[in-house]
Amino acid sequence: MITAPAPAAPHWVQVALSVLGILGGGTGLAAIAAVVVQRGKFKADAADTLTEAALTLVQPLQTRITQLEVEALSARSELGTLREQVNQLQFVVRVLTRTLDRWRAAIRAPDATLRKVRATVAESDRIPEMDR
Amino acid sequence: MRTRIRPSHRPYEIAVLVAAALSGVLILTLDVRPTSVHLSMPQPILIAWELGQIAVGVGGLLGILWPGRLSTGLGLELASVLVLGTITGMYAVAVSVVSGRNSIVAISFMMAVTVGSFWRAAQIAIDLRRLARVCESATYEQLRTGVT
């Protein structure tokens, strides 16, 4: 589009810009060359690369996780023993309720006598379920 | 809920790289040249300057989107921003010499791109050095077990 010959920018500008351009282009090429040459230094893939900062972030998290895992494990075992105890207690409560019902029935019976009640009580003493 | 704060420099960088490629293609296809550049650069440098715009845009975007090794992508981006800084700096010098103080706005923005490019280049250089150090000190397996 520009057909008129240059109204001549100062010569030093041309020289300066040439030097600048050559320097910049050279640096760019050098950068590519440097990365290509030192490729062996970078072993990690993009997806797996962690910077130093990320590593230092990850480490405390990791120890925390192991701590929490241990705690979770102990909590779980404690829960197991507690559940077992609850089961036993439920069983005992059931047996006791049944005994109580039987005694009450014996006492409330219209023909209840002291001897009969005693016999009922003595009988439930021998119930083997209660041995536990 | 997980909130991710995005790095803030990317939009500018990507936009400038796209603009560089577009401008290079347009200059070449339409065969128009900014007067200032035409006046202040010798012919071979001028052609290199034009081609450089396209190369910078394509190379930079390629580096940013590089699917392979991170270091390769960063290297491409490094070279691109270095050359981008040079190209915009040359343009700023050319404009300022030819148009003087009439073009303060254009020069300001152009210099901003230049400074930003070299800034980014320095960042990448530091990152690459760190990356190399990490890769040296920690083996790949260590890195891996560090994450899982």
Instruction: Report the alpha-carbon distance of residue B116 to residue B14 in Å, rounded.
Output: 12
Task: List pLDDT tens digits, range B97-129.
Answer: 888 888 899 999 999 999 999 999 998 888 888
* Among the partner residues B90, B121, B140, nearest to A21 by beta-carbon distance: B90
* Among the partner residues A17, A23, A48, nearest to B40 by beta-carbon distance: A17
Asked whether residue B124 is assigned to any structural domain, the reply reads yes
* Residue range of the domain that includes B97: 10-137
Could you say which DSSP state residue A130 is in? Answer: G
Instruction: Name every chain A residue with its beta carbon within 8 A of the beta carbon of B45.
Output: 14, 17-18, 21-22
Treating both helix axes as pointing N-terminal to C-terminal, what angle do B10-30 and B70-99 enclose, rounded to 10 degrees?
60
Please give the pLDDT value at position A51: 61
Q: Is A21's CB within 8 Å of B67's CB?
A: no
Asked whether residue B147 is assigned to any structural domain, the reply reads no
Asked whether residue B5 is assigned to any structural domain, the reply reads no
Instruction: Report the alpha-carbon distance of residue B43 to residue B33 in Å, rounded.
Output: 12
Instruction: Report the alpha-carbon distance of residue A17 to residue B41 in Å, rounded.
Output: 7
Q: Is A2's CB within 8 Å of B130's CB?
A: no
Asked whether residue B16 is assigned to any structural domain, the reply reads yes
**Which residues in chain B come in under a pLDDT of 70?**
1-9, 135-148
- A85 near B CB under 8 A: no
Instruction: Report the alpha-carbon distance of residue B77 to residue B122 in Å, rounded.
Output: 11
Task: List pLDDT tens digits, range A48-103.
Answer: 555 656 777 778 888 899 999 999 999 999 999 999 999 999 999 999 999 899 88
| Closest C-alpha among B60, B142, B45 to residue A16 | B45
Nearest CA in chain A to B144: A48
Question: Any idea what the Cα angle at residue B16 is, between residues B11 and B20, rounded to 5°?
Answer: 150
The residues in A 21-60 lying below 8 A from B, measured between CB atoms, are 21-25, 27-29, 31-32, 34-36, 38-39, 41-46, 48-52, 55, 58-59
Nearest CA distance, B82 vs chain A (angstrom): 6
Instruction: Report the alpha-carbon distance of residue B72 to residue B63 in Å, rounded.
Output: 7
Please give the pLDDT value at position B3: 59
Please give the pLDDT value at position A4: 43
For chain B, the domain total comes to 1
Banded model confidence at residue A44, pLDDT cuts 50, 70, 90: low
Q: Are B111 and B85 in contact (CB under 8 A)?
A: no
Check residues A107 and A55 and name the one with the higher pLDDT.
Answer: A107
Please give the pLDDT value at position A50: 57
User: What b-and-e string marks burial along B83-115, b requiring 16 or more CB atoms within 10 Å of the CB?
Assistant: bbbbbbbbbbbbbbbbeeeeeeeebeebbebbe
Q: Is A46's CB within 8 Å of B131's CB?
A: no
Nearest CA in chain A to B28: A1
Q: Residue B33: which residues within 8 A CB-CB, separation 6 or more?
A: A1, A2, B27, B46, B50
Instruction: Report the alpha-carbon distance of residue B56 to residue A115 in Å, rounded.
Output: 110
Instruction: Name every chain B residue with its beta carbon within 8 A of the beta carbon of A39.
Output: 69, 71-72
Asked whether residue B130 is assigned to any structural domain, the reply reads yes
Q: Considering Cα of B107, then A30, then B76, then A40, what sign does the dihedral take?
A: negative
Check residues A63 and A46 and name the one with the higher pLDDT.
Answer: A63
* ipTM for this prediction: 0.73
Please give the pLDDT value at position A128: 56
Please give the pLDDT value at position A127: 60
Nearest CA in chain A to B47: A21
Please give the pLDDT value at position A47: 45
Average of per-residue pLDDT values in chain A: 80
Nearest CA in chain A to B72: A35
Q: Is B90's CB within 8 Å of A24's CB?
A: yes
Among A35, A45, A63, which would you mutate to test the B interface (most chain B Cβ atoms within 10 Å of its Cβ)?
A: A35
pLDDT at A6 over 60: no
The helix (run of H) or strand (run of E) holding residue A51 is: none
Nearest CA in chain A to B143: A50
pLDDT at A1 over 50: no
